[in-house]
Amino acid sequence: MAQIFISYAREDEKRIQPLVSALEKEGWSVFWDQHIPSGKTWRSHIGKALNDARCIIVTWSQRSALSAWVHEEADEGKQRGILVPVLLDAVEPPAGFHDTPAVDLSRWDPAAESVDFGQLISNVREVLAANSVSTTDPPIAEPITVAPDAFDLSASVGTKPQPLLLPLALAGLVLAIVLGGYWIVHVRPSGAGSAGDFGVLFGNEKNIAAAQDDIRQAAGKGVSPTGLYLRKGYYAGIAVVDSQTLADKYLEIIKTFRPDAQIRSMQDWCPSQRRHDGFIECVENQ
């Protein structure tokens, strides 16, 4: 399990290598390899590393500021309070990430002493210390003793059944049926893919026409069925399948025209869905 996860745009890979080496010299383990090994899924490889990390460094550059994947990984770090932002270029962090000051490494020389890099090391140490993994076993809770008649209603209210219990139970059952029906009809549309399915994602576009063009290319190469999804303001084409083997096959095909394609668990990526005219929206849980 790596202590640090580095989020970056693929085009910045060569610029990230010196940063990884410098962090490893401090004695930390770093995950930064975005290539998914054969037989692995996003969830089992990159997703697991992201979840296990105790510090997420996001490297903002002209490229990464436009990457939906980097935004998503940075948001994960922000929500967990373990985000350490860095500037590779003289750019403004995207909207929603201005509240955490970024360390400016746009002029950093790995071969020279750097006050800015020293600040980064200090920030990482602070985050890791605040999220250290306990090496001691958690305290064992004392067993709770429940009196034998604790759930015997007749012990306190007599043997006569309470008249309100049956109506209340029926009202609860009706409410559960109504809410369940609303969820099925309005939130989880039929045909949108169940929570246990694999989603082969290709493209994250602000422009819906560009995402639709990706879907046409996928269909032309035999990838079916595909759907258009909207998540966090970005449109993506997705082939939802229930087989890991088929997902791997589709991923190989789609990567011929979308190298950034990935396999995701629909339960994690889009657990709640709402159908619109022409696309499906991933609804954030409130």
Distance, CA of 207 to CA of 16 (rounded, Å): 29
- Tokens for 38? 């054969």
- Map residue 221 onto helix, strand or coil: coil
- 3-class DSSP state for residue 102? coil
Q: Are 192 and 227 in contact (CB under 8 A)?
A: yes
In this structure, the chain runs to a length of: 286
> Residue 165 has what pLDDT?
63
Which is more confident, 32 or 277?
A: 32
Nearest to 81 by CA among 54, 118, 102: 54
- CA dist., res. 204 & res. 182, Å (int): 29
Can you say how many angstroms the Cα of residue 71 is from the centroid of all Cα atoms in its chain? 10
Q: What is the pLDDT of residue 271?
A: 84
Residue 252 has pLDDT above 60, yes or no: yes
CA distance 32 to 20: 8
Integer angstrom CA distances of residue 95 from 98, 203, 215: 7, 21, 28
Using pLDDT thresholds of 50, 70 and 90, give the confidence band for residue 275. Answer: confident
Q: What is the C-alpha separation between 254 and 44, in angstroms, rounded?
A: 20
pLDDT at residue 74 in the model: 93
Tell me, what's the pLDDT at 257?
Answer: 85
Note the pLDDT of residue 44: 63
The C-alpha atoms of residue 226 and residue 195 are separated, in whole angstroms, by 16
Mean pLDDT for all residues in the chain:
80
Interacting residues of 51 by C-beta distance below 8 A, sequence separation 6+: none
Rg, Å, the chain Cα set: 25
Which is higher by pLDDT, 155 or 219? Answer: 219
In this predicted structure, what is the pLDDT of residue 187?
A: 43
Region 153-163 average pLDDT: 50
> Which of 22, 39, 20, 41 shows the shortest CA–CA distance to 31?
20
Q: For 99-108, 133-142, 226-235, which range has the lowest pLDDT when averaged over its residues?
A: 133-142
What lies within 8 Å, CB to CB, of 147 at 6+ separation is none
pLDDT of residue 32: 87
Convert the pLDDT of each residue in 67-91 to its tens digit: 888 999 999 999 999 999 999 999 9
Q: Are the CB atoms for 11 and 62 separated by under 8 Å? A: no
pLDDT of residue 75: 92
Using pLDDT thresholds of 50, 70 and 90, give the confidence band for residue 137.
very low
148 pLDDT more than 80 = no
In this prediction, residue 176 carries a pLDDT of 66
Q: Cα(284)–Cα(79) distance, rounded to whole angstroms? A: 14
What domains are there in the chain, each with its CATH number? Answer: 4-130 (3.40.50.10140), 198-282 (3.30.70)
Cα separation, 274 vs 103, in Å, equals 39
Q: Is residue 225 reached through a cis peptide bond, with omega within 30 degrees of 0 on the bond before it? A: yes
pLDDT of 27 above 90: yes
- CA atoms of 259 and 243, how far apart (whole Å): 21
Which helix (H) or strand (E) is 83 found in, with range? strand 83-87
pLDDT for the residue numbered 25: 94
Give the lowest-confidence range in 85-89, 112-116, 240-244. 240-244
- Give the closest residue to 237 by CA, choosing from 245, 226, 248: 226
Q: What is the mean pLDDT of residues 19-43?
A: 80
Region 251-259 average pLDDT: 89
Using CA atoms of 129, 131, 137, 143 in order, give the dihedral in degrees to the nearest 10. 130
Q: What is the pLDDT of residues 166-179, one digit of tens each?
A: 667 677 776 766 56
CA distances from 39 to 96, 201, 263 (A): 35, 17, 11
Residue 231 phi/psi, 5-degree rounding, is -140, 120
pLDDT of residue 186: 45
Q: Which two tokens stand for residue 4?
A: 């640090």
